[in-house]
Amino acid sequence: MSKPATYDEDGHPIQPKYDPSEFLVAPTDSRGISYRLTFRASPDLVRALDQILASHRFPLTSRGDLLRFATREAVRVLEKMEPVPSVSKRVDILSLILTEEQAHGEFLHVFDQLQRTITQYLADQAPEQAVRVISLTVHQFEQMPEGHWRSRYLKELHARFGTILKEHSAPGVVLTKNGKAIKP
């Protein structure tokens, strides 16, 4: 589950200050093995955890996410303080793989849902609505941070829906780089 979008007072999305992948810690190893950790905590500490989660300022969605992150960070700090045998590099690798799997899953989900929506509008003889949704989607993808996933989303959108934009857009209207429709 992703965190809710955060918007400024004008309704524009606020770019996250943190890379979400830095917070993600895989709950299992590569073979699916995990251990349940159980411990007692003071009510103030639990309230602090819940307030952090409720703030939606960090890409964490559950106590488990937050506690895995905190545990990994504590292990890193302790390893810097004293030399101890460590597996933290393996944890980092598994977290990276999990991040990529989640990003790819979200990518597939977005395009499956978009394909269903566009197909329905076209079946309903409402191509202008299909173009509107595609245009809004282009604009949202252009707001993503530069990098692999932004490029991949835009490339896939063009490959799947570029023809629809060309065939059903108003004559002389083109999408600019920032996603707004203008006349040439």
pLDDT, one tens digit for every residue, the chain (184 residues): 444 455 666 766 666 677 777 888 888 877 788 899 998 999 999 999 999 999 888 889 899 999 999 998 998 888 888 887 777 777 777 777 877 888 888 889 999 999 999 999 999 999 889 999 998 998 888 888 888 888 999 999 999 998 888 887 655 545 544 544 433 3
Give the per-residue pLDDT at 170. Answer: 59
Please give the model's pTM, rounded to 2 decimal places.
Answer: 0.49
Using CA atoms, how far residue 9 sits from 54, 111, 174, in Å, is: 19, 30, 29
**Using CA atoms, how far apart are residues 98 and 23, in angstroms rounded to an integer?**
11
Rounded CA-CA distance 95/23 in Å is 9
Q: Rounded distance, CA 111 to CA 153, Å?
A: 9
Alpha-carbon distance of 171 to 88, in angstroms, equals: 57
pLDDT at 9 (0 to 100): 67
Contact 88, 26 (CB under 8 A): no
Q: How far apart are CA 2 and CA 107, in angstroms?
A: 13
Give the end-to-end CA distance of the chain in Å, rounded to a whole number.
41
Q: What is the pLDDT of residue 71?
A: 92
Question: What span, in angstroms and rounded, lies between the C-alpha atoms of 90 and 3?
Answer: 26
CB 54 within 8 A of CB 125: no
Count of Cβ atoms closer than 10 Å to residue 173 Cβ: 13
What the block records as the tokens of 121 is 């509008």
